[in-house]
A and B are shown apart, each in its own frame.
Chain A
Amino acid sequence: MSEADDKNRYNLASRRKTFLGLDKEQALKGLFGGNALVSIVVLALITFFLFREGIGFFGQYRDSLKLYRSSGLEYVEIMNEQSAAFSGLTRYLNSIREDQTQLLKEQGLAFREIKKVQARDNDFFYGFEDLGYPLREYVLEKKELAIASRNAYEEMENLKVFRSNLLAEGRTEEAAAVSIVELDLSATVDQIRSGREEFLALNDTIEKELEALLAEAPTFEAASLNAKVERLGELTRMFIAEMEEYENRLLEWDSTQSIGMGRAFVLFLFGEKWVTNSSIQDWYGLWPLFSGSLLVAIIAMFLAVPLGIGAAIYVNQVAGPREQNFIKPYIEFISAIPSVVIGFFGIAVFGQFIRNASNWEALAWLDVFPLAERLNAFTAGCLLALMAVPTIFTLAEDAINNVPKAFKEASLAMGATRWQTTVRIIVPTSLSGIISAVLLGFGRVIGETMVVLLCAGNRIAIPDFTEGLGVFFEPVHTMTGIIAQELGEVVHGSIHYRALFMVGMALFIISLLINYVAQKIVIKYQISRG
């Protein structure tokens, strides 16, 4: 054997082909590492853009709130509230009339006869209602004043921006041609406030007249009507007491009081109003949307958790292989249905069915039935439950499946029944996996858009939890729904646009939190299995 041969045989130097200076292994590593990197970068970019678009919101919102105050709109709004409270009273007043009409109709009276009977109390009813008009007129007048000055101020601001843009581009002549009338908002505020005496006088009259009217409130034959009149008296006296509060608030109000960033933040996070495109003032409060999302999610989880976990336990522990092969793909198939189809089904079939069902005699004992709204939190919740079941089922089934077979065998070999084994061994052992399945199902439900947009009823209001069961059947709006609905129509960069980004941000943080907790639980679970 020659020396060269020998050398060849023991030549261990790398003979791997290289490409761009990488051999095959490095290239593969780069490829897969690159994929992982891309997903991290995308997540970072999403976070970054959400922040960038959203964060300007607080500044803009504060400016808007400042203008709301300095233009006197806030002052007008206090008076408006009082006027609205009075309107509430008149609505109750009118409901008494309506009830009476109904009763008389049932007694077989004709329309004209009813009118005749009611004519007796016209002084009371019309007198009551008429009391509100001067107040409303007064408020309206002041409101128009404030709005006009606010709009003029905004116009002026816009012109200023326009001019400075021109200047920045070097078009000085054109810039000089832009005429700007400096506007002093405090003048308007003074003007609005100067009417204070008049307002107080109005209030005084209302108070006196109301008391006089109540003193000779009509009585009826029907006890139910008398009870309502009684209640009207209570409400009215409450209103009279409140009038003083409104007056005090007006007195304390100060147009120059500053508004901090914190106030804007609090008003966003805990604000109870989400009002856009309002002529008076836009409000961007997350609370009604958040509570709507939460309500729908709670309903969905209430249904999906027992169904998903129950099905997982059944399939894994009870069902034979044939049943398993049948049930598993079917449940998993649900997640393949496009959510818009589910939403469509919700509107066309399910919502209608719920409302029809609410009219059934058999369900009449439920005091929330029959339902007025076809689309409400319950409709959306049921459909979301349908979408969450596959997530919960699949993950919970995985967790249960991960319980070592040896545990099950040991338990059965001790003479435990199948059920005992499931309850005492299988479920506790896979509990953390099941909990994280539930959390991820919750994340799915909170983040779902199409179904809630189509089926939740889209009324922006905090669900009234004092309603008892009825709260589940109120139409609500959701965080996801509002973004999908409004983002297409808003002006890029406007405060509304940024507000929607902030809602997205909140959603994103909630989802991250849920996922984080779920992962923490899973990790703990793996350790405990050792």
Chain B
Amino acid sequence: MSLVADKITLNRPKQSTDSMDSDSSEQARPLIRVSDFDFFYGDKQALFDVNMEMMENEVTAFIGPSGCGKSTLLRCINRMNDLVDVARIGRGTIEVSGANIYDPQVDTIELRKRVGMVFQKSNPFPKSIYENVVYGLRIQGINRKSTLDEAVERCLKGAALWEEVRDRLDTSGLSLSGGQQQRLCIARALAVEPDILLMDEPCSALDPVATAKVEELIHSLKDNYTIVIVTHNMQQAARVSDRTAFFYLGKLIEMGQTEQIFMSPNNEQTEAYISGRFG
């Protein structure tokens, strides 16, 4: 692969490689648990009996051919699918740190504050960079200038964008390049201090350099956040994730340590997909 990819692999923080060598599943605590999950769009079933766990402070990658339900499952985790009129759950639960998020008592607003989301196409608001970052705070009624200033700097630094935009926080978020916009969206998601970040193909619209930056960012975020990322890029999944889940036709086919999935998949469909024979 490209030099960039190599660099990323090399840059990998030591401890994560270590943890992968040792049996990490023993140390890692599951933060998201999906059990017996069936999901429908109208009459069409999009997910079939999905069972999986995503560990705290790890990166989990969803891979699989187009239309297999990766985005659907991701959007179920912060209940963005509630916005789709025909969407409904057939069976099963999703738990975030032990609480069923589809419990009628759950407040989706609170849930979404804890489970942030970054979309495939960068979508900064048509506001200034500053206002984009503090949006999540403003809607919570936080308007103290010092708090906001501090959050802007912290989040933009967290999203590795601070150095590039510190002199022009007043310019429109839309004036940034595609890669910068995507990092701005990540910064915006960080501002509400979520525990979990869901990323749906965050790099699909970016060039290799911008992609490398975002991947680097994902790495550094892993210490503080639990990340679930959907990607079509096998190398990306291999580079950034600790665990990988392979979906096919709405079913979870195989899930395991990323290295295991890529080096010695147990399922032949997984192998076929990874080696590029279909999908």
Show the binding face of A for B, using Cβ within 8 Å. Answer: 320-321, 404, 406-407, 409-417, 420, 424-425, 428-429, 528-530
Number of A-B contacts (CB under 8 A): 70
Write 19 A-B pairs (CB below 8 A) sorted by A numbering: A321-B85, A407-B125, A407-B126, A409-B83, A409-B123, A410-B185, A412-B83, A413-B80, A414-B113, A414-B189, A415-B113, A415-B136, A415-B192, A416-B136, A417-B109, A425-B125, A428-B126, A528-B126, A529-B126
Size class of the contact patch on chain B: 20 to 34
In the assembled complex, the CB of B220 is this many whole angstroms from the nearest CB of chain A, namely 21
Partner of A416 from the list B116, B127, B139, B172 (CB cut-off 8 Å) is B139
Does A424 lie within 8 Å of B139, measured CB to CB?
yes
B245 interface residue, CB < 8 Å from A? no
Which residue of chain A has the shortest Cβ distance to B198 in the bound complex? A413
A410 touches B119 (CB 8 A): yes
Candidates A404, A412, A530; contact of B80 at CB < 8 Å: A412
Contact, CB under 8 Å: A407 / B123 = yes
- Say which residue of B85, B112, B127 sits within 8 Å of A415 (CB atoms): B112
B119 and A414 form a contact (CB under 8 A): no
B258 proximal to A (CB < 8 A): no
Docked CA distance A529–B189 (Å): 22
Any chain A CB within 8 A of the CB of B78? yes
Query: Chain A residues near B127 (CB, 8 Å)?
Result: 428
Contact, CB under 8 Å: A406 / B139:
no
Q: Who on chain A is nearest to B115 by CB? A: A413
Q: Which residues of B contact A411 (CB under 8 A)?
A: 125, 135, 139
Q: With A321-B85, A406-B123, A407-B125 known to touch, is A415 a contact of B109 (CB < 8 Å)? A: yes
Whole-angstrom CA separation of A425 from B140 in the bound complex: 15
For A530, the chain B residues whose CB sits under 8 A away are 174
Q: Which chain A residue has the least Cβ–Cβ distance from B111?
A: A415
CA distance A66 to B88 in the complex (A): 83
Q: Does B138 contact A (CB under 8 A)?
A: yes
On chain A, the residues within 8 Å of B110 by CB distance are 415
Chain A residue at minimal CB-CB distance from B86: A321
A-side contacts of B192, CB under 8 Å:
414-415
Please provide the 5 A-B residue pairs with the shortest distance between their CB atoms, ordered closest to farther: A406-B123, A415-B113, A413-B117, A415-B112, A414-B136
B243 close to A (CB within 8 Å):
no
When distances are taken between beta carbons in the complex, the residues of chain A under 8 Å from B78 are 413
Please give 18 more A-B residue pairs, beta carbons under 8 A apart, in addition to A413-B80, A414-B136, A529-B126. Answer: A404-B123, A406-B123, A407-B125, A409-B123, A410-B123, A411-B125, A411-B135, A412-B83, A412-B112, A414-B112, A414-B188, A414-B189, A414-B192, A415-B113, A415-B139, A424-B139, A429-B126, A529-B174
Task: Determine if A410 and B125 form an interchain contact, defined as CB atoms under 8 angstroms apart.
Answer: yes
Q: Is B121 an interface residue (CB 8 A)?
A: yes
B189 cross-chain contacts in A, Cβ below 8 A: 413-414
Q: Mark B182-223, 1 if CB is under 8 A from A, else 0.
A: 000100110010000000000000000000000000000000
Closest residue on chain B to residue A529 by CB atoms: B126
Q: Find out whether the CB atom of A409 lies under 8 angstroms from the CB atom of B136.
A: no
A417 nearest in chain B by CB position: B109
The complex places the Cα of A415 from the Cα of B116 at a distance, in Å, of 8
With a CB–CB cut-off of 8 A, which chain B residues contact A407? 123, 125-126
Question: A412 CA to B174 CA in the complex, in Å?
Answer: 19
8 A Cβ contacts from B68-117 to A: 78, 80, 83, 85, 109-113, 116-117
How far is B125's CA from A410's CA once the two chains are assembled, in angstroms? Answer: 8
Complexed CA–CA distance, A417 and B117 (Å): 15
Residues on B with beta carbons closer than 8 Å to the beta carbon of A529 = 126, 174
Q: Name the residue of chain B whose CB is nearest to the CB of A421.
A: B139
**Contact assessment for A424 and B138 in the assembled complex, using a CB-CB cutoff below 8 Å:** yes
* Complex alpha-carbon distance, A404 and B78, angstroms: 21
Is A414 in contact with B85, judged by CB distance below 8 angstroms?
no
A404, A416, A529 interface centre (most CB from chain B within 10 Å): A416
Residues of B within 8 A of A409 (CB): 80, 83, 119, 123
Contacts of B112 in A (CB 8 A): 412-415
User: For residue A413, which residues in chain B have a CB less than 8 angstroms away from its CB?
Assistant: 78, 80, 112, 116-117, 119, 189
B202 vs chain A, min Cβ distance (A): 13
Chain A contacts of B174 at CB under 8 A? 529-530
Known A-B contacts A412-B83, A415-B113; A406 and B126 likewise in contact (beta carbons under 8 Å): no
List, in ascending order, chain A residues with CB within 8 A of B172's CB.
Answer: 528
**Bound Cα distance from A509 to B109, whole angstroms:** 51
- Chain A: minimal CB distance from B184 (Å): 11
Task: Give the shortest distance, in Å, between B201 (CB) and chain A (any CB).
Answer: 13
Q: State in angstroms the CA–CA spacing of A414 and B192 once bound together.
A: 7
Give Cα distance in the complex from A320 to B78, angstroms: 22
Residues of A within 8 A of B126 (CB): 407, 428-429, 528-529
B85's nearest neighbour on chain A, judged by CB, is A321
Taking each of A404, A412, A420, A530, which has the highest tally of chain B beta carbons within 10 Å of its own beta carbon? A412
Cβ-closest chain A residue relative to B137:
A414
B132's nearest neighbour on chain A, judged by CB, is A410
- Inter-chain CA distance A424–B131, complex, in Å, is 11
With CB as the reference atom, state the residue of chain B lying closest to A416.
B139
Bound together, the chains give a CA A485 to CA B52 distance in angstroms of: 78
| Interchain CB contact (< 8 A) of B116 among A406, A414, A417 | A414
Taking the nearest CB of chain A, how far is it from the CB of B148, in angstroms? 15
Task: Establish whether residues B135 and A414, one from each chain, have CB atoms under 8 Å apart when the complex forms.
Answer: yes
> Which chain B residues border A429 with CB–CB below 8 Å?
125-126
Q: How far is the CA of A416 from the CA of B85 in the complex (A)?
A: 19
- Residues of A near B125 (CB, < 8 A) are 407, 410-411, 425, 429
**When chains A and B are docked, how far (Å) is the Cα of A529 from the Cα of B138?**
23
Residues of A within 8 A of B85 (CB): 320-321
Q: How far is the CB of A457 from chain B (nearest CB, A)?
A: 46
Q: In the docked arrangement, what's the CA distance between A530 and B78, Å?
A: 30
A321 and B42 CA atoms in complex are apart in Å by: 15
Task: Write out the residue numbers on chain A whose beta carbons fall within 8 Å of the beta carbon of B119.
Answer: 406, 409-410, 413
Q: How far apart sit A404 and B119, CA to CA, in the bound complex (Å)? A: 13
How near does chain B come to A468, taking the closest CB pair, in angstroms? Answer: 39
Closest to A530 in B: B174
Give the distance to chain A from B36, nearest Cβ to Cβ, in Å: 26
C-alpha gap A224/B252 in the complex (Å)? 93
Distance in angstroms from A136 CB to nearest chain B CB is 70
Residues of A within 8 A of B138 (CB): 424
Is the CB–CB distance between A424 and B135 below 8 Å?
yes
Chain A residues whose CB sits within 8 angstroms of the CB of B123 once the complex forms: 404, 406-407, 409-410
Task: List chain A residues, Cβ under 8 A from B116.
Answer: 413-414
Complex CA gap A530/B119 in Å reads 19
Residues of B within 8 A of A321 (CB): 85
CA distance A154 to B185 in the complex (A): 80
Bound Cα distance A474, B189 (Å): 57
Closest B residue to A406 by CB, please name it.
B123
